[in-house]
Amino acid sequence: MTLRYNAGEVITAMATPFTKDLEVDYKGAEILAAHLVETGTDCILIAGTTGESPTLTHAEELELLKIVKKAIGNKAKILMGAGSNCTKTAVEMTKEVTKAGADAILSVVPYYNKPFQEGLVEHFSKIAEATNLPIVLYNIPSRTGINMNPGTIAELAYKFDNIVAVKQSNANLDLVTEIISKCPDDFAVYSGDDSLTLPMLSLGAHGVVSVASHLIGKQINEMIAEFKKGNVKKAAELHHNAYPLFKAIFMCPNPVPVKAALADLGVISDYVRLPLIPMNELEKQDLLKVYKNYK
């Protein structure tokens, strides 16, 4: 079955580089985007949680889109975070992102408000009506305070052809089974957690929106390819080898650890905006030990 929209199998939720003064480092964004494309990323997500979107202005997000789009050309697709817990704001940003040339939109479940499922249907309906771009729903109850139920996802998927996928950041694999069984066959499910990619693939997921792909994108791509070729044992071996790193890059709030590792590689700096703070030296040593052991 051909998917409604195929963003690729490894979507990297790109970190946003900052200068020492905590301004967006747009040159660093160019460098990081090129690094990702060269190391196995099929699609770059801008202004996701890993991109510290809660601390970015809309103007900064749109400038990042412009800069990254120019830097990578047609080497990878761009998925743009345009969600909000205010439906009006999400609609307005969706229209701006559409005009600015994103390939697709990531729209998060409204956070803090804790709406009913019926409210979610209304919220995402307004967003879908505001653009002709493909929309990936983002379900992450640990951050939003509510779970978008499989039936709600299916209702939206059947109602709108441009609602094409869901990033499912929920460790309950039964929900993945329900989503896939209830949604149209051409609707894609992406794991929102690196460590759950292989289990979700076994249930019918298409790929992953990854943080670890900043560091091991080619290996994650290989794991997915081996699984889909039927080489389950090889895919499991790659998963087990990467598992300590999958966990280590979340030893502090995301994206603090992955930025520390990227800084060690000399790709970008490890500056983060408050309320996040950089890792201390002991934490950094623990992280880099896991990473170097993996390599």
Domains assigned to the chain: 10-231 (3.20.20.70)
Catalytic member of 138, 190, 271, 291: 138
32-47 tens-digit pLDDT: 999 999 999 999 999 9
The answer to whether 14 touches 212, Cβ cutoff 8 Å, is: no
What integer pLDDT is reported at residue 168 of this predicted model?
Answer: 98
As given in the structure block, the two tokens for residue 3 are 């998917």
Answer yes or no: 138 catalytic: yes
Rounded Cα gap, residues 106 and 132, in angstroms: 13
What integer pLDDT is reported at residue 67 of this predicted model?
Answer: 97
Rounded Cα gap, residues 235 and 249, in angstroms: 21
What integer pLDDT is reported at residue 35 of this predicted model?
Answer: 98
> pTM above 0.75?
yes
241-252 tens-digit pLDDT: 999 999 999 999
The answer to whether 137 touches 153, Cβ cutoff 8 Å, is: yes
Strand partners, 80: 46, 105
What is the amino acid identity at position 274?
A: L
Answer yes or no: 26 catalytic: no
Catalytic member of 5, 26, 77, 167: 167
Residues constituting the chain = 295
User: pLDDT confidence of 167, banded at 50, 70, 90?
Assistant: very high
